[in-house]
Amino acid sequence: MADDVSRSPLARALEDYLAHLTVERGLSRNTTSAYRRDLGRYVAYLESRGRATPDDVVEQDVEDFLAALRTGADGGTALSASSAARAVVAVRGWHRFWVRDGVTTSDAARAVRPPAQPRRLPKAITVEEVGRLIDAAGLGDGPTALRDRALLELLYATGARISEAVGLDVDDVDPTPGRASVRLFGKGAKERVVPLGSFALEAVEAYLVRGRPVLAAHGRGTPAVFLNTRGARLSRQSAWAALRTAAERAGLVGGDGTGAHLSPHTLRHSFATHLLQGGADVRVVQELLGHASVTTTQIYTLVTPDTLREVYQLSHPRAR
C-alpha cells in the first residue's frame, strides 16, 4: 500500500491500464511489457513537463512526445519511424481508455497521428531455400536434431509465430491422417486451427516418438511439444538460435556471416507468399495467419508480381 501511495497519479494510472490490458484484453506478457516500456517513457516525459495527473495532459504534450521519440530529445534512444509509431499507438490507446473509464473528459491524443513510414515488403525465401534450411536443421541423429527439424517444418507448414510454436502443448497437435492439424493461440489468446502438411506431420511425429521422450527425461513433466535439453519448454530465444544455426549450415547467411537476415518470421512470410503464389485466396491466408484484418495480409500480394502478371496474361481477354 505504501508503494502505491508513493507513486504519482500518472504512474498509478499506468498500472491500472496495464492490468486492464492483461486481464480484460488478454494481451500476452511480451506485448504488455512493450506497452509498459513505451508508456513508462511517456509518463516520465509528462512528469518532466510538470504534468501531474491525466487531466493535465494536452495535445501539444503528445505531439512533442512524438518528436522526442524520433530525436531522443527526452534523453531516451531516438526511435525509427516504425518504433515511434508503435509507441504513439500505445499512447493513443491509453488516452482512449482514460475517456472510456471516466478518468478524463477529452482525448488529448485523438488528433495525433503516428509518423509515416515506408511500406516494407515482407522478406521471404524461395521454396528451394526452405528445403535447404529444414534439411540443415535436421542434420544429426540426436533428439535436438529431430526437434529442430520438426520446429522448422511446423513453422513453415502453418505460418505460426514463434511464440505460438513454442507455446504448443502435446494436446494441441492432432496427428490424424488426412486431417492433421495444430491448434495455435495467437495475439489476444485468439485460437485458430491450422492444417499440418505431410512433411511437417512426419517430422513432428518422428520428434514426438524418438526425440521428445529423451529430452523429457531430464525435466519435470511439462506438456510442451518443444523441449530444451533440460526437459523444459523451449524458449523463443533458443528457437531463434536453432534457426540461425540451420541458416549457417545451409549457407543462407547475411553479409556479416551471422544469418541475421533470417528469423522465425521469415518462415511465416514465406508460408504466406508461397500460398499466394500457389493461387490461395488472400482471405484464406488471412485465416491461416490469424490476422484480424485482411488489410494486414494483403501486403503479401505485393511480393508476387510475377504471379499476378502471369494470371493477368492468361485470364484477361485482351491481354495478348
Active site residues: 161, 187, 265, 268, 291, 300
What is the C-alpha radius of gyration for the chain, rounded to an integer number of angstroms?
23
Sequential DSSP letters for the chain: -HHHHHS-HHHHHHHHHHHHHHHTS---HHHHHHHHHHHHHHHHHHHHTT--SGGG--HHHHHHHHHHHHHTTTSSPPPPHHHHHHHHHHHHHHHHHHHHTTS-SS-TTTT--PPP---PPPP---HHHHHHHHHHHT-SSSHHHHHHHHHHHHHHHH---HHHHHT-BGGGEE--TTS-EEEEE-GGG-EEEEE--HHHHHHHHHIIIIIHHHHHTTSS---BSSB-TTSSBPPHHHHHHHHHHHHHHHT---TTSS-TT--HHHHHHHHHHHHHHTT--HHHHHHHHT-SSHHHHHGGGGG-HHHHHHHHHHH-TT--
Measured at the CA of 15, the angle between CA 10 and CA 17, to 5 degrees, comes to 90
Return the C-alpha cell found at 97: 481508455
247: CB partners within 8 A, 6+ apart: 133, 136, 253, 259, 262
Residue whose C-alpha cell is 494470371: 311
Question: Would you give the end-to-end CA distance of the chain in angstroms?
Answer: 76
